[in-house]
Amino acid sequence: MKKDNKKNNFPKGLNINIYWIYGAIFLFFIGIQFFSGKSVQKTNWQEFKNKMLLENKVEKIVIVNKEKAYIHIKDKNLGEPFFERVAKKPFGNSKNFGPHFYFEIGSVDNFTSELKEAQVNFQEEDKIFPYFETRKDVFGDILGWILPLVIFIGIWIFIMRRMSGGGAGAGGQIFSIGKSRATLVDKTNIKITFKDVAGLDEAKEEISEIVDFLKAPLKYTKLGGKIPRGAMLIGPPGTGKTLLAKAVAGEAKVPFFSLSGSDFVEMFVGVGASRVRDLFKQAKEKAPSIIFIDEIDAIGRARGKNSITGSNDERENTLNQLLTEMDGFGTNSGVIVMAATNRSDVLDKALIRPGRFDRQIYVDLPDLVGRKEIFKVHLKPLKLSKQVDVNFLARQTPGFSGADIANVCNESALIAARKGKKSINKQDFLDAVDRIIGGMEKKSKIISPEEKKTIAFHEAGHATVSWMLQYASPLVKVTIVPRGRSLGAAWYLPEERQLTTTQQLEDEMCAALGGRAAEELFFKKISTGALSDLEKVTKQAYAMISIYGMNKKVGNISYYDSSGQNAGFTKPYSEERAKIIDSEVTRIIESQYKRAIDVLKKNKQKVIKLANSLLDNEVIFKADLVNIFGERKWKSYDEEKLNEMDKEVKK
């Protein structure tokens, strides 16, 4: 109470800081030193001798510390014009009683002899004899050794505060390094609810139960049930895991402790475990509450992987403390731990077991309907033209996460603003998608006519093969304008499948090899432009054989390790089996390459027509392929679903 009274003694609106007080004291002493200085003018021996001594105007001479001679002028002479500058003090306009002048004497003996010689013709009563004094500048001496000390202490405090991550805390952060770095978001400050989360209906439904637990725990505990300890959000980056956690906090209206897994990591031993203890202590004090640890794989990796070093791993100590806090002998009633990661395969088994993280909620990439809902959320603040169709945008962005869709919407607004438009139209969104996928157009890049022709036939080969095969992704757009690191680019619309068959994989491989096949067919030579295609095809072929078991010679065998525990330098199969796998990969790729050439031979004139159209226009669309090849024979399930959605909108 006394502290509060002291605070109230200050006038309202006056912000008192201790450093201001220190500064005022320092300036006070400097002022004393400055204002205590007298109006003493510097002179020299000649001026002193001719203007003062020989004219008998000197009252007395005081030699201080055998270094300086201070001259006092007689009162009757101070009114003269020469002495007007020293007659009064600079502050207060009062009379200056002296000293009035000073100069360096050099040697005392020389000065006294010269003074005696200058007064040789003086009467005895008029002669001036110097006085000798020894003075000490106490304040200057004190300032001389205190000031460096103060500067040193100030630098030390600054370095310590920076090393310890800021100056918060009464005792300084250096004494609270083991404190939790979690950001406490008060329940009144959380504005995000489930309405702000779109495209994650299943995840929202599953996680909404946690909100019910926090709102009405008795509803479940009276039947003998226990409130879940934690929920793990698993999914690719940008799918909305962190957003979902914030929505839980916003819906439940409880304190929300948010931090990253890397916040526990420190160079000092035991700091991570100490921060875990402090975090749970704070959460228990504010229970019911939520602890959200983003990127938990930073501390939750499987133990025993670094045993080669033979050292005590600080990260493992932190994990052990987290395991104990979540399900140990202590009680954490009312505290629910939520975590997010996109590396669930590397997490320790003890961390994700029931009793710690009871729920594992998978937040996948949104499907067609999910992308439509996400677009609706992000399109609300934008000024759109009537041309913009949400169904079309959802169709054009397969494989996009929620973060990618937000980026598309923002980029489209920037493109429209750059062009000076008053609203965002359909083309701005397409340009945004193109820029995000392929990069910025490099129209200034110098490409020879021969290279340009090769690129055109390469892209025409891709487009033709994908158009003529049932399970290959249909074309949306092809360009030979360089984008990013590629000399040409093609946009396809892959069908969103949950299962993939052997025929579908083979068609995709054949379409990818269409570019290299076109180069060999029309130019009788191949280029390095097919690098990315070959990389993709090789990975697919190896996956078909060694992971999915889609090869008769190798059989129904998978060498895939979902746990990630056996990842190392050794292969899980023999050298003989490795040779068989390599030979089968080569056979599959070569067979699809030959198939691509056959497709191009059957449609040779149409490929030439398509390539020439690319050379003339630099960009071709789906409509151009329809004009050359006719309508595609097969329609995907996604297209049929979109048509149904469009019909519903029209109704």
Six-digit token string for 330: 């202590």
Per DSSP bridges, beta strands 41-42 and 58-64 are unpaired
| 439-444 CB contacts, 8 Å cutoff, 24+ apart | 439/483, 439/484, 439/485, 439/486, 440/483, 440/484, 441/481, 441/482, 441/483, 442/481, 442/482, 442/483, 442/484, 443/481, 443/482
In this structure, the number of other CB atoms found within 10 A of the CB of residue 32 comes to: 11
Instruction: Determine the Cα angle at 360 with ends 355 and 365, to 5°.
Output: 170
Q: 311 in helix, strand or coil?
A: coil
Residue 569 C-alpha from the chain's centroid: 34
Whether residue 99 has a cis bond before it, omega within 30° of 0: yes
CA 435 to chain centre: 22
**How many beta carbons lie within 10 A of that of residue 437, not counting itself?**
16
Cα 605 from chain centroid (whole Å)? 52
Strands (E), 206-255: 230-234
Q: Which two tokens stand for residue 513?
A: 């090899």
Residues contacting 11, CB < 8 A, separation 6+: none
Number of H-type helices and E-type strands within the chain: 22, 14
Residue with tokens 């023999």: 574
Q: Provide DSSP, 336-376.
A: EEEEEES-GGGB-TTTSSTTTS-EEEE-PPP-HHHHHHHHH
Q: For the CA atoms of 412, 417, 420, 423, what is the dihedral angle to 10 degrees?
A: 60
Q: Enumerate the active-site residues.
A: 459
φ, ψ dihedrals at 351, nearest 5°? -80, -40
Judged by DSSP in three states, 294 sits in strand
Q: Which of 213, 219, 223 is nearest to 338 (CA)?
A: 213
H helices present in 64-105, as ranges? none
For residue 542, give every residue at least 6 positions away whose Cβ sits within 8 Å of its Cβ, in sequence order, or none.
581, 585
**Cα dist. 481→439, 490, 616 in Å?**
11, 11, 12
What is the rounded distance in angstroms from the CA atom of residue 323 to the CA atom of residue 220?
A: 25
Token output for 214: 């926090």
